Amino acid sequence: MSAAASLAYLAGLGHEVRPGRKFDLAAITALLDELGAPQRAFASVHVAGTNGKGSVAALIESAARAAGWRTGLYTSPHLQRLSERIRVAGAEIDLAALAAAAGRVRAAAERLLAQGRLPNPPAFFEVLTAVGFTAFAAAGVELAVVEVGMGGRLDATNVLAPRLAVITPIGLDHEAFLGSTLAAIAGEKAGIVKPGQRALVSAPQVEAARAVLRARARATGVEFLEIAAPDAAAAPPTPLRGRHQRENAALAARVCALLGECGFPVPPAAVARGFAAVDWPGRLETVCASPEIILDGAHNPLAARALAAFLDEYRSARPAPVLIYASMRDKAVAEIGEILFPRAAAVVFTAPRQPRALAPEALARACGGLAPHAETAPDYPAALAAALRLAPAAAPIVVCGSLYLVGEARDYHAGGGCGAA
């Protein structure tokens, strides 16, 4: 299968997860068994949580690679290109390798369907997870750092037998799938903890989540290790901005310290080099200097609070920012708005090119009153033009609320231009 055909095949599966869909591990298990169990060809670290999963995974992978290990990194969602989700030795998977892995997975799925061993075609994330694991095995990956797509217990990535389970801060998100309480959501995240792991390493959690994680660790015989606030101050520096990223770095550093006990030593010097070199775009990322344009997904209340803390520090000597905001239909827009919008000089509501996006007018009706001034724009270029018009001198423009919007903004600014078209 050609690269173009493989991308068309994956795109044709559809990315949207619909409420009411039954989740289990039967399809991904059958698919990987048919492929010869590629997930057993490499060791792994499994990362779940509500926020910070990608940053923590990227930090661990960068440090392990700096220590000389051949690494894989599997994350989601992507910002601009699907190949961002599968990285080998620090580089996005090349299209030939992606096509080869996708071709194998598609052939395996079609055999299973033809033989009646799969009742329905596997979903997009199941297929892509199989593609990632197949590609890692083919590339000779020694240690893969794998981010959970959603939840943990029934996520397609949970076919792994990881050396370490890592859980970042837990908050309310994806309630239609994971439950409406922190305890319920923590229970889903805790599903990645299995007997035989060296440890469950956790970020600081609220007590409702901590109790669930501790109980799961005790039930599986796995040591529970929770980082403490002072650990953040001692973590090696990274280019990632925000107080929350210091906590993410502390969590990743604790994982790296334990990897030696799992057969993959990562010395402190490698941690320092890897953390200093990490690249994780779309999270408090500046894409233009004048005016300063900052991109940050901030798609749920926990992430909004992290962005708010950054803005409170950042704006101490600057005017209030103008926000360009978009959201998917299943997000807590009112709560996010209460956290972010009063901190802005103005908010421009827009929508990315994504079927799950809320219309700008619907956002304005729902929470425009929380902003000192609000306008709508049909797309990112129009929203940027409005923001440039509204921004006080020296005020930053912050693009937030949706990683899909962040991806479109990165595409728009890829040529280095900062102004509106």
- The three state secondary structure string of 115-130 is CCCCCCCCCHHHHHHH
- Of the three residues 277, 302, 333, the one that is the final residue of a domain is 277
* Count of C-beta atoms within a 10 Å radius of residue 416: 7
CATH code of the domain in which 20 resides: 3.40.1190.10
Distance CA 365, CA 134 (A): 46
Structure-token pair, residue 297: 């997904």
**235/315 same-domain check:** no
- Same-domain pairing of 235 and 179: yes
Which residues span the domain enclosing 65? Answer: 3-277
At a CB cut-off of 8 Å and minimum separation 6, what does 107 contact?
Answer: none
d(C-alpha 275, C-alpha 267), whole Å? 12
Please indicate, yes or no, if residue 190 is contained in any of the structural domains: yes
The whole-angstrom separation of Cα 107 and Cα 128 is: 14
Virtual CA dihedral for 151, 155, 161, 167, nearest 10 degrees? -20
Question: Pairing between strand 86-88 and 71-74?
Answer: antiparallel
User: Does residue 242 form part of some domain?
Assistant: yes
Q: Which of 251, 277, 303 is the last residue of a domain?
A: 277
- Each residue's pLDDT, cut to its tens digit, for the chain (421 residues) gives 777 787 788 778 876 555 445 678 999 999 999 999 999 999 999 999 999 999 999 999 999 999 999 999 999 999 999 999 999 999 999 999 999 999 999 999 999 999 999 999 999 999 999 999 999 999 999 999 999 999 999 999 999 999 999 999 998 765 566 777 999 999 999 999 999 999 999 999 999 999 999 999 999 999 999 999 888 889 999 999 999 999 999 999 999 999 999 999 999 999 999 999 999 999 999 999 989 999 998 989 999 999 999 999 887 778 999 999 999 987 889 999 999 999 999 999 999 999 889 999 999 999 999 999 999 999 999 999 999 999 998 899 999 999 999 999 999 998 766 766 5
**Torsion 237-238-243-246 (CA) sign:** negative
Q: 343 in a domain, yes or no?
A: yes
Contact between residue 200 and residue 258 where contact means Cβ atoms under 8 Å apart: no
* Pair type for strands 143-147 and 71-74: parallel
One domain, residues 174 and 320: no
pTM above 0.85, yes or no: yes
Please tell me whether residue 96 adopts helix, strand or coil conformation: helix
| Domain-located, residue 418 | no
First to last CA, the chain: 38
3-state helix, strand, coil in the chain (%, to 5): 50, 15, 35
**Does residue 210 share a domain with residue 136?**
yes
Encoding tokens for residue 65? Answer: 């690679």
Q: Are residues 257 and 378 in the same domain?
A: no
CA atoms within 13 A on the CB side of 358: 23
Whether 420 maps to a domain, the answer reads no
Looking at the structure, do residues 253 and 313 belong to the same domain, yes or no?
no
Report d(CA 403, CA 11) in Å as an integer.
Answer: 18
Q: Hey, is 181 helix, strand or coil?
A: coil
Last residue of a domain, one of 252, 277, 302: 277
State residue 175's pLDDT score: 55
Q: What is the pLDDT of residue 23?
A: 76
Report yes or no on 417 lying in a domain.
no
Residue 44, beta-bridge partner list: 144
Residues 71 and 164 in one domain: yes
Mark whether 397 and 375 lie in a shared domain: yes
* Half-sphere exposure of residue 118: CA atoms within 13 angstroms, side-chain side: 25
Q: How deeply is 180 buried, as exposed, middle or buried, from its count of CB atoms within 10 A (0-12, 13-18, 19+)?
A: exposed
Q: What count of other Cβ atoms lies within 10 Å of the Cβ of residue 175?
A: 15
- With tokens 């799938």, the residue in question is 177
DSSP label of 370: G
Question: Which H or E run contains 334?
Answer: helix 333-340
